[in-house]
Structure 1
């Protein structure tokens, strides 16, 4: 039996959860939405898809939620929108891909505040991060030279998220702000798609103290597959597993998972990089921005972990059980 067969067998048997994928932010682009079929075919059971980030207007976030919800309702034979752990279990039992939403940053809530948190949670938003690279009224982003920390506005939003069962995420968030979030947390906090800075130094990657603080909350660091953040020139499975092994070695296999950050529309990504220099300060040098590992390579990731000596139970945790544990602790 080959290692790839071992990986394939384990993926078929395990819960596989990719905690962040990027569909185009065009609410009626059904051709791209249909590519979620490839995610399901790869053996992924649960995927979180974005409905907006950073400066994307509130109206566009809501249009994405509405458009994706309508589309998912029409695909009931092979996938379903999930809002709870029970929904995920039902989807998996019937062989359907479980899909939920995420929001990359609290900027859309700068005016509306916490009033939108409960309706978004009911609509299927499973997690929301605090700040996307740049500051908003809730806190600072990871590109800020002066991180002023979590604000009272941010604390109110987080309290409402906790009340309604939405997971708090600190990817893209500034160091002090992220530490404030975790110091005030009474539930697991995650980094949905962030890599360790010790393996590769980049403003989007996170230092050891944030990884440890995340683990202390019971949270999980999701390793992403973007070449620019992996740091090897291209997006290789070997390098991604280097990042997984580092986090596992630092805080244990209970606190690392997958958040591959795969972007379905590469042109849209390049357009954002080129038109938002304040949000992406190193856009001109991000030659590897479209080099990325997609969910179709989850069997390769699994095989590489097994090849390096990871035990089956640890790999099961990394593939999805750790995210499920966090969902059980936070979702209502």
Structure 2
């Protein structure tokens, strides 16, 4: 059984401390997708972070391996090493060029979505006016499929995500999302989105963010309740985990340079207070508590194994291509 963390955040700074990744490994995680940039981050910042994170991984082969294939993850799990991939949240760092997708893939980006909360020339954000996937966005979906990168619809507008899933020739995931039927929030996804994701063969990975779980101090039981809802709707084979824990390091300022307005990206009208500083997360030991919590929520042992990571492994085996 592979434990797959579909989304986690370190400071977007070359000096970010990697010790939280050691803690993830110690909690039983075998693979983690680490964010390296969002729509508000300029390409120079993203490339700087990628260079530093890649160097850190290469310098410590006894702790980490940069995952380029499912085989890398399985080998890492067998040897007690944490496999790491990167994800990109938003299409602005693609600079309007579909060929940028393959470049990011070659640097270790294994999944990406096209909008971070707000609209851009490619796609709609979940906290903005709905337009649908743009013509450039359709070309970008083709580029993601062609490059063997996981197409992700987290943070994407509802209509636009349905367009993306209809356009994709490969399974689509939500790397950190929760059912709207359980908690009313603009970041949560409708039953229609969940069903469309499952129809592609994809996976909805449940987030551990307090606002999206509807609990100030969420626990493994809260994550399991949301996982069980999705499993009941489309089958447990379409459920995964993306706790979205942000490992903040107060000594590092990782804000984008220049005119950066947190209230734009996390609007108060959408339920955010002071950006995302008031958000809390499920604790790291959620990973150790989840198997029993999922069984208590009604999932079988085989279904638990799928949710914990084997479902995402299945999708990655289908989608990923060697660089």
Instruction: Output the TM-score relative to the length of structure 2.
Output: 0.92
2:14 is matched with: 27
Distance 1:308 1:104 in 2: 31
Structure 1: segments with no counterpart, 5+ residues: 1-13
1:110 deviation in Å? 3.4
Q: 1:134 aligns with which of 111, 118, 134?
A: 118
Q: 1:263 aligns with which of 224, 246, 250?
A: 246
Q: Matched residue of 1:126: which SS?
A: strand
Change (3 A) 1:18 1:180: same
Does the 8 Å CA contact 2:225/2:297 hold for their aligned counterparts? no
Q: Matched residue of 1:141: which SS?
A: coil
Q: 1:315 aligns with which of 304, 307, 310?
A: 304
Does the 8 Å CA contact 1:110/1:136 hold for their aligned counterparts? no
The answer to whether structure 1 residue 149 and structure 2 residue 135 are counterparts is: no
Q: Matched residue of 2:2: which SS?
A: coil
Distance 1:16 1:109 in 2: 30
Map 1:44-193 onto structure 2 (within 5 A).
44-111=29-96, 113-144=97-128, 146-193=129-176
1:330 is matched with: 319
- Between the two proteins, the alignment pairs up a number of residues equal to 314
- CA deviations 1:105-133 (Å, max 9, x no partner) are 1111234x112211211111110011000
Q: Matched residue of 1:262: which SS?
A: coil
Distance 1:316 1:269 in 2: 38
1:7 is matched with: none
- CA deviations 1:278-321 (Å, max 9, x no partner) are 11112327788432014432111111112334211000000000
Does the 8 Å CA contact 1:100/1:125 hold for their aligned counterparts? yes
Does the 8 Å CA contact 2:2/2:308 hold for their aligned counterparts? yes
Distance 1:120 1:287 in 2: 27
The answer to whether structure 1 residue 281 and structure 2 residue 267 are counterparts is: yes
1:74 deviation in Å? 0.8
2:187 is matched with: 204
Q: Matched residue of 1:241: which SS?
A: helix
Q: Matched residue of 1:284: which SS?
A: coil
Root-mean-square deviation (CA, aligned residues, Å) is 2.0
1:62 deviation in Å? 1.1
Q: Matched residue of 2:58: which SS?
A: helix
Does the 8 Å CA contact 1:228/1:287 hold for their aligned counterparts? no
Map 1:285-296 onto structure 2 (within 5 A).
289-296=278-285
1:195 is matched with: 178
Distance 1:285 1:159 in 2: 37
Structure 2: segments with no counterpart, 5+ residues: none
- CA deviations 1:37-59 (Å, max 9, x no partner) are 10100000010000011211111
Q: Matched residue of 2:211: which SS?
A: helix
Q: Matched residue of 1:192: which SS?
A: coil
Distance 1:271 1:27 in 2: 12
Instruction: Output the TM-score relative to the length of structure 1.
Output: 0.90
Q: Matched residue of 1:278: which SS?
A: helix
**Greater per-residue helix proportion:** 1
Does the 8 Å CA contact 2:263/2:274 hold for their aligned counterparts? no
1:16 is matched with: 3
Does the 8 Å CA contact 1:48/1:99 hold for their aligned counterparts? yes
Distance 1:207 1:308 in 2: 21
